[in-house]
């Protein structure tokens, strides 16, 4: 009888494990169906984007990759122009549910407004290729920013994916923070709540705000790299 009871307990445990595994598999399938991905661990990596193109890596503690691009106003934007200032890079895709969570809640706009008021340069970057989810031309992006009341310093259009691949941007959102000396001090997720639920914004640990607050106070950034989450960046093939 004892042996029978032990067998029943083991059988129940294995069934529980199988149930959890099936639930995880279903969640992964659902996220993939929405174009979601979890990027590789920061601080940096070399790898392939979803279209199979080799990507570079932006590494925490190293100089941030220089870039030049056009913003939605037709102005040429160069990272070198902002030497001496803190710079935030925000990869975005208005159709991604993870991005919509941040904008529909007003969280991203609040962060942009707060930190640009403190002298931080905030660059929103669109690396979706023409014809892909999230692609916007200049006039469409200007209309989108007006609609959601966004407050970045500029929106940089990167339909070729050149800037995104230089940084190894994998998800929307994917956040980078650069110090006044041009060194990357943060690479990763916007916060610690990798969901599309707007209610999760409140109470989330915001890694970007923490990095800026600590760095501007002369302190070391305690969490300098995290695993980015969101929809995959829709690069050109």
* pLDDT one-digit tens code per residue, 163-176: 999 999 999 999 99
pLDDT of residue 12: 52
Give the strand pairing for 76-78 and 54-55.
Answer: unpaired
Of the candidates 178, 220, 214, the one whose C-alpha atom is nearest the C-alpha of residue 84 is: 178
Looking at every residue in the chain, the average pLDDT score rounds to 85
Answer whether residue 2 shows pLDDT above 50.
no
Q: pLDDT-derived band of residue 58, with 50, 70 and 90 as boundaries?
A: confident
For residue 179, the tally of other CB atoms under 10 A from its CB is 19
CATH superfamily to which 37-232 belongs: Glutaredoxin (3.40.30.10)
**Is 192:160 a contact under the CB 8 Å cutoff?**
no
Question: What is the token pair recorded at 128?
Answer: 């979706």
For residue 54, the tally of other CB atoms under 10 A from its CB is 9
How far is the C-alpha of 75 from the C-alpha of 232, rounded, in Å?
A: 27
**Is 173:90 a contact under the CB 8 Å cutoff?**
yes
How far is the C-alpha of 159 from the C-alpha of 112, rounded, in Å?
A: 23
pLDDT of residue 237: 82
How far is the C-alpha of 94 from the C-alpha of 172, rounded, in Å?
A: 9
pLDDT of residue 9: 52
DSSP summary character for residue 206: B
Answer whether residue 1 shows pLDDT above 60.
no
Positions of E strands within the chain: 36-38, 47-48, 54-55, 68-71, 76-78, 87-91, 121-126, 154-157, 171-172, 175-178, 184-188, 229-232
pTM score, whole prediction? 0.80
* pLDDT tens for each residue of 105-128: 999 999 999 999 999 999 999 999
Mean pLDDT of 59-84: 97
**Is 42:227 a contact under the CB 8 Å cutoff?**
yes
């Amino acid at each position: 009888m004892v042996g029978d009871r032990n067998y029943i307990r083991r059988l129940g445990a294995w069934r529980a494990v199988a149930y959890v595994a099936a639930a995880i598999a279903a969640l992964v399938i659902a996220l993939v169906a929405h174009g979601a991905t979890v990027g590789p661990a920061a601080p940096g990596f070399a790898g392939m984007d979803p279209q199979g193109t080799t990507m570079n890596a932006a590494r925490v503690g190293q100089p941030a990759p220089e870039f030049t691009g056009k913003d939605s106003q037709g102005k040429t934007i160069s990272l070198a122009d902002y030497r001496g200032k803190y710079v935030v890079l925000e990869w975005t895709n208005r159709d991604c549910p993870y991005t919509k969570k941040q904008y529909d809640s007003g969280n991203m706009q609040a962060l942009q407004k707060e930190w640009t008021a403190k002298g931080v340069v905030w660059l929103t970057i669109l690396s979706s290729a023409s014809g892909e989810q999230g692609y916007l031309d200049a006039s469409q992006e200007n209309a989108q920013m007006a609609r959601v009341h966004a407050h970045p310093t500029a929106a940089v259009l990167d339909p070729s994916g050149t800037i995104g691949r230089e940084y190894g941007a994998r998800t929307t959102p994917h956040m980078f923070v650069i110090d006044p000396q041009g060194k990357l001090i943060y690479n990763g997720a916007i916060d610690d709540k990798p969901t599309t639920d707007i209610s999760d914004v409140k109470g989330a640990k915001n890694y970007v705000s923490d990095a800026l607050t600590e760095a501007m106070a002369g302190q070391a950034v305690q969490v300098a790299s995290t695993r980015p989450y969101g929809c995959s960046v829709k690069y050109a093939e």
